[in-house]
Structure formats: structure tokens, C-alpha cells
Amino acid sequence: MHVDLVGLGLAVLVAGLVARLARRVGLPSVPCYMLVGILLGPGTPGPSVISHPEDLGLLAALGLVLLLFHLGVEFPLEQVLGGGRRLFLAAGCYIGLNVGAGFLFGLALGWGGAEALVVAGALGVSSSAIVTKLLVELHRLTNAETPVILGIIVIEDLFLAFYLALLSPVLSDAESPLALVGEVAVSFGFLALLFAVARFGARAVARLVGDREDELLIVLTVGLAVLVAGVSEEVGVSDAIGALMIGLVISRTRLKERLERLVLPLRDVLATVFFVAFGLSIEVGEMGAVVVPVLVAVLVTLLGNVTAGIVAARLFGFNQRGAANIGLTVLGRGEFSLILATLALGAGLDARIGPFVALYVLVLAVVSPVLAARSHLLARVMPDRLLRANWTYVREETISTSCTHLDRIRVTGTDTAVCEECVRLGTHWVQLRLCVTCGHVACCDDSPHRHARAHAEAAGHPVIQSAQPGEDWRFCFVDDTLVRAPMGSPRR
């Protein structure tokens, strides 16, 4: 037992140190935990700190339960429902493109139908933790496309519950099509029951686990989460579903904020054990056989994400930079991909799934932050015909919702088709800009005299609008960025 504790303590300590170093260079922590497990495990040449990864099975299972439970507690259901039809269309397009492409890719690998479903989920759903981390580190919280990105990952989390309910019977290897239908019905029936509890029984659950003392509250809540996860597994549904759904129940109670705070440290420690344990189970020698499939999978994911980003930009009227930001920010894969691989290996599916998903997540962990930080390069080559408006002049510019000068908008259209100052001087102009405060029309910054900027400085009118046919974007000279009101606000 002493050796087991030493091995576990060393693995978790090294995982934390490596993650700390990775964060200094902008890389997420989840793949670091997995990488440490691979390097310190029996599947790698050299000394192994934990020779029998299966000994960590119960701790890893608790990490998975708390990971999904906390995800359910954080789930902002009202935000999703208030996002409107366009948000659901954007998220549906993203999920459909990526999961569909992943399923076809899984079939092309020839590993089997159940394996293709696992590959579809692993390739199809992004990492909420990685996405939110990128938004903070890249200072994009006030970008116009950020609410769309957050809406997509939230709806992905909801999709996760349904996907696990569908996948669990498949992984159980039903004896006949009728038996499979029956198990799917049981899974969705159990899911519906938990949704009903979330809708109508949240108060009863709050009375059951609620207590003024934090100690008793966390003990009762974790006990309930583990119990529901266990019951889920007993009825043939993934324990992950039960944990996620009981978290969703808690999210609808007055205990939500306290439990978010109390569960977080426990979740982080045990989830680290889960990721390390996953890495410990990987045979490094098997990774060579999946290098080519992983590289193809990364390209498939990149293509699917960029396509979904363009669709979302069309729906919400963003430019090329917004489309690129959406597609590349949600590129990272992490927790859910590893959870699916763990379930697949536990069900006895093709052993290549483990190293395939591990290497896939590692590659995207490095690639996604690099590409997201350089999204302007993709925006530069993205043609206008893919979007609803003509953004050629400002395709690489960020659209911000933080401008404090939008209350100065008074004029939104004009019939003037010349720069009068340029006409008087007998010079030419490149494009025209409309002052949205007074209606003055003047030439752009690429014109010889930059009359629009001169007017803005002289009159103190900071916001202009393109006066070119087919364009209606607005730019603030003070904030030096494209601007628009936050999503849901009426456009003037």
C-alpha cells in the first residue's frame, strides 16, 4: 500500500508541475495530465511509478463522476434557451458537421460501427475548459462572436447527455436489434426521468442534501451524485449520464453557487487522477500505428470547425475574422474525448481507440491555441462570397461589443455618393464613410486626404459606417475597432 501511495502521489505531483509549466506558454492542463500518465506508466520504456493502472479504477471513476457532475451544476440552461433560434442553428451545424464527419471517418478506419460512434463523439465535441481558457487568455471576452462561441459549447454539453444515452446501449453489445432498441429506450427513459426530476423535483433534492454547514452539504451532495451515477450504471446507462443529470438538478436549486465553489477543488484533484489513469493505460508502442489516422482526423476536425464557423458568421452577420475566431477557438478537444475512449476501452472495443484519442487530443492541445491566436491569417484568405456581406476592406478586423460610443448613433443611411471635400480639391477617393452622428460623408483612410477621420477628430464624432453599396459595418476611431451592440440588443 505504501508503494501505491508513493506512486500515486508522485504521478499527481508531476502532473501538476508539468501543467504549471504548460500554462506559462499558453497550453491547457488536461493533455499534460494525460501525457504524464503515459510517460510514467507501464506502457512506456523505463521505470513505472504505477505498474497496475487498474488499481486506480475507483478513484478514476470518482474523478469522472465529479467532472460530469460539476459540468451539470455549471450548465446555464436559461442562457441557452434565451440564445434564440440562430444560436441553436449554429450549434446544431457545428455538432452535425463535426460528429457526422467523425462518424464517416470512423467507418473509413474500418474498426467497427461501435468504434465509429466513439470516434464521432471524440472528434465532434470540443473542450469547454480549453475554449473558455483561450477566450480569457486571448482577451476576446468582449468580441461580438464570443457569446456565440459560449452558446455552442454550452449546447454541446447538453448534447453530451443525449449522446452518452445513445452510446451506452451500443457499448453494452446488445444481442439483437430488438434488444438494442430496448436498451436505447431504457437509456432515454432514464434520461427523461432525470430531466423530470430537474424540472419538478429540484426543491426536494435541495431539502435532501441542503445544510448550513459546508462539510455536511458537500458530503451529502457527493454521496447523492455517486449514488445516482451508480444506479445509472446498474440500469445499463453510463455513470457519466447520471452524474451530469444530477448536477443539472442541483443547478436549478438555491445550492448551486455554494456547491460550485465546494466541489471545484475536489473535482480538480480527482479529475486529474482520471486523466493520469487514462494516460497510464496507453501503450506508447501502439501510437505509431495511429499517427496517420490522427493527422487525418486533425485535418477533418479543422475543416469541420472552419466550415461551422463560416455558417455561424453568416447567421449572425460577422466578418471573416469572426468566422475564423469561432472555428479555431472551439478546435480543442479534451475531457469528453477521453471519457469516450475510457468507456470504449472498458467495453472491450478496439484497443487502438486509446492511443488514437490520446494522440489526437495531444496534437490539438498544441495546435488549437496556436491557430486561434493567429486567426487573422485565415480571415485574410477567406472570400466574401462565403458570407452575407462584403467585408473585403475589414475582413481581418475584430468586431467588439465594448464600445461606449454607440449611443452617438443618429444616422444610419445616406444618398450621398461623393466626398465633397475631395470634389472641391479635385482629388480622388477610394471608399466613402458615413458619420453616424451627423450624416457627413467623407473619404476613407486609404484615400489621399482621409477626410472621414479628419471630420471625426474635428467634430468629436467617433463612429463611422461604411457608405459603400452592400456594406453596413461600423468602426470607432477612439476604440480603433469594428463595433456592434451586444447580441440581442436592437440594431439602430
Do 353 and 477 share a domain, yes or no?
no
What pLDDT is attached to residue 80?
Answer: 54
Residues 477, 426: Cα–Cα separation, whole Å: 26
453 pLDDT band, cuts 50/70/90, is: very high
In a domain, 207, yes or no: yes
Q: In the predicted model, is pLDDT for residue 1 greater than 50?
A: no
In a domain, 396, yes or no: no
* Cα dihedral 94→97→103→109 (10° resolution): -120
What pLDDT is attached to residue 343?
Answer: 85
Question: In percent, how much of the chain has pLDDT > 90?
Answer: 40
- Domain residues for 300? 2-381
Do 418 and 348 share a domain, yes or no?
no
* Boundary-marking domain end, from 351, 381, 411: 381
In a domain, 389, yes or no: no
177 pLDDT band, cuts 50/70/90, is: low
Do 185 and 139 share a domain, yes or no?
yes
What pLDDT is attached to residue 236?
Answer: 66
Of 143, 150, 145, the closest CA to residue 481 belongs to 143
What pLDDT is attached to residue 101?
Answer: 95
Average pLDDT over residues 406-433: 93
Q: What is the CA radius of gyration of the chain?
A: 26
Residues 445, 466: Cα–Cα separation, whole Å: 12
Q: In the predicted model, is pLDDT for residue 488 greater than 60?
A: no
What pLDDT is attached to residue 2?
Answer: 46
Do 344 and 479 share a domain, yes or no?
no
Residues 256, 74: Cα–Cα separation, whole Å: 8
Quick: pLDDT tens for 283-339: 777 788 899 999 999 999 999 999 999 999 999 989 999 999 999 999 988 778 888
> Which amino acid is residue 76, in one-letter code?
P
Report the mean per-residue pLDDT for the chain. 86
Q: In the predicted model, is pLDDT for residue 9 greater than 50?
A: yes
Do 421 and 355 share a domain, yes or no?
no
Do 293 and 430 share a domain, yes or no?
no
- DSSP, collapsed to helix, strand or coil, labels residue 482 as strand
Do 295 and 204 share a domain, yes or no?
yes
Do 132 and 79 share a domain, yes or no?
yes
- Contacts of residue 139, defined as CB under 8 A and 6 or more positions apart, other chains included, come to none
Quick: pLDDT tens for 96-112: 999 999 999 999 999 98
In a domain, 387, yes or no: no
Q: In the predicted model, is pLDDT for residue 266 greater than 60?
A: yes
Q: In the predicted model, is pLDDT for residue 3 greater than 70?
A: no
In a domain, 369, yes or no: yes
Quick: pLDDT tens for 41-84: 887 777 778 878 778 888 888 988 888 788 778 766 655 555 67
Quick: pLDDT tens for 353-377: 989 998 998 888 888 888 998 999 9
Quick: pLDDT tens for 109-141: 999 888 999 999 999 988 876 787 678 778 887
Quick: pLDDT tens for 229-255: 888 878 766 677 788 788 888 988 889
Do 424 and 373 share a domain, yes or no?
no
Contact status, residue 123 vs residue 300, Cβ threshold 8 Å:
yes
CATH number at residue 472: 3.30.40.10
491 pLDDT band, cuts 50/70/90, is: low
CB burial of residue 102 (10 Å; 0-12, 13-18, 19+)? buried
CATH number at residue 305: 1.20.1530.20
Do 16 and 52 share a domain, yes or no?
yes
What pLDDT is attached to residue 386?
Answer: 92
Bridge partners of 474? 465, 483
In a domain, 390, yes or no: no
* Boundary-marking domain end, from 346, 381, 416: 381
* Boundary-marking domain end, from 324, 352, 381: 381
Domain count, the chain: 2
Which DSSP category does 44 fall into? S
Average pLDDT over residues 420-425: 95
In a domain, 463, yes or no: yes
Q: In the predicted model, is pLDDT for residue 392 greater than 90?
A: no
Residues 36, 41: Cα–Cα separation, whole Å: 8
Do 235 and 357 share a domain, yes or no?
yes
How many Å from the N-terminal Cα to the C-terminal Cα in the chain? Answer: 69
In a domain, 393, yes or no: no
Do 87 and 14 share a domain, yes or no?
yes
